[in-house]
Amino acid sequence: MRESKVMKGTLLNKNVLKVIDELRELSGKEPGAESARVALQGMLEGLIRQAESGEGNIERIVEELIDLGLAFPESPLPWRHLSQVWLDREEWKRARAAADQGLKVEPGDVELVNNRAVALGRLGDHEAAIVGFKHCIEREPRNTAFYCRLGDTYRQLKMYEQAEQALHQALEIDPRCAPALLGLAVLNNDREEWAGCVYFGELALRYLPGHPETCLVVGDALLNLHEYEAALQRLMSATLVDPTFIGAYELMSHAYAELGMYELSVGAAREALRLNPESWRALVNVAYALGKQERHPQSADILEAALKLVPDVENRCEVLWDLGWACYKAGRYKRALACTEQALECGEQPDLILFFNRGLILLALGRVDEAEEAYQKAVERAQAEENHDVLAEASENLGELLARKAVKIKSGSVISRLLEG
């Protein structure tokens, strides 16, 4: 018996351990070896079911599964279940460790390799995750879940062609594979191909009606297509299924603001903040609603608060952009310039309008020569990209400033030519 092992749980008492050892001994002897092995496997499966019936007592469940791993050193089953327990709790390092332990018992086990790959992807090691998912596909080439996970991992690396290929492979196996359709919707969202996002998202919703994450992705795309009422319908569907879905309330707040329904916009943002007091997106949407009402000082104040909550560089750039513009509209030109310059510095590919905004703010500060230089570079960029829309927007913003603030502009300058259109 394994009395030397320290069993922390309560399932494996001395009598149970004795039976396990007796069955293991019989499994190595003929006749009856196969029957003993079947009984041993059944006993393990039953003990795992008992271990996982702990009704939320995660420490107890973990202890019991570890004990079972020690008591059944020849089986990967306890480690499969333990790694899944940690995945469900988003404990990625522990999930990987449990999967690693199981793979020592049975190298190449598909379920363990999959769980390990999922954990690695969540930990940011996407390349290693890809290796794992490819192994799973080799072993089970008809399992669409592995293609979907592979596609999502490629997407996170911005390897969009490979992601698309993997997702379409899943659809070749099962044309109704909703996770693959959702994956293509998310992929199109990342590419800012909004119509494609809506197309694949709506297809996914045929097979997963009301699926909150799919409704969110479709709602976001509809917002970007300026179809605000349709976006609200999808986002509301998400909250009907999951009333605690923070992302849906955040986007609903934005949609309501675009429709001029400011009280509802603030109400949706308030609900998001109730669910998550650190929802910086909700604060950004409150600020947006205030800005739409020309309440720029209050908008800027809210954005200052939101900036303190932003966890990552990419979204920080977005908030700095909004804050810079709100401060400009509020007449806080020095702060506007600082925020706009920070937004330009932190983004890999800053939006073209930011370069024009910098020139506009410099002009508002009376730094005409610097503004001329900034506008020169911005116009050159816009012409190289043949972006006439941003030139029109910049011209409109410039005209609005000069209509309310007297600034001497040289004839024939880049600024004067931009103003003339």
Report the C-alpha gap between 27 and 12 in whole angstroms. Answer: 20
Predicted local distance difference test score (pLDDT) of residue 8: 47
Under 8 Å between Cβ of 130 and 150 = yes
Predicted local distance difference test score (pLDDT) of residue 139: 97
What the block records as the tokens of 21 is 């050892």
Predicted local distance difference test score (pLDDT) of residue 67: 74
* C-alpha atoms less than 13 angstroms from C-alpha of 367 in its C-beta half-sphere: 14
Residue type, 88: D
Q: Write down the domain spans for the chain.
A: 1-75, 366-421
Q: What single-letter DSSP state applies at residue 211?
A: -
Let me know if 46 is exposed, middle or buried by CB neighbors in 10 A (0-12, 13-18, 19+).
exposed
Long-range contacts of residues 237-244, Cβ cutoff 8 Å, at least 24 apart: 237/210, 238/210, 238/212, 238/213, 239/212, 240/210, 241/210, 241/211, 241/212, 241/215, 242/212, 244/275
* Residue appearing with tokens 């949706």: 268
Predicted local distance difference test score (pLDDT) of residue 75: 85
Residue type, 171: L
Predicted local distance difference test score (pLDDT) of residue 23: 52
Report the C-alpha gap between 335 and 325 in whole angstroms. Answer: 10
Under 8 Å between Cβ of 216 and 229 = no
pTM assigned to the model: 0.80
Predicted local distance difference test score (pLDDT) of residue 350: 87
Predicted local distance difference test score (pLDDT) of residue 6: 42
Residues 6+ apart with CB under 8 A from 19: 43
Predicted local distance difference test score (pLDDT) of residue 14: 60
List the Cα angle 218/223/226 in 5-degree steps.
130
Cα-based torsion angle of the residue sequence 152, 153, 157, 163 in order, rounded to the nearest 10 degrees: -50
Cis bond leading into 243, ω under 30°? no
Per-residue pLDDT of the chain (421 residues; tens, 9 = 90+): 344 344 444 555 565 555 555 555 555 666 655 665 566 566 556 666 666 665 556 677 777 777 777 777 888 988 998 899 899 889 999 999 999 999 999 999 999 999 999 999 999 999 999 999 999 999 999 999 999 999 999 999 999 999 999 999 999 999 999 999 999 999 999 999 999 999 999 999 999 999 999 999 999 999 999 999 999 999 999 999 999 999 999 999 999 999 999 999 999 999 999 999 999 999 999 999 999 999 999 999 999 999 999 988 889 999 999 999 999 999 999 999 999 999 999 867 889 999 999 999 999 999 999 999 999 999 999 999 888 899 999 999 999 998 888 888 888 899 989 988 7
Predicted local distance difference test score (pLDDT) of residue 12: 57
Residues 6+ apart with CB under 8 A from 315: 280
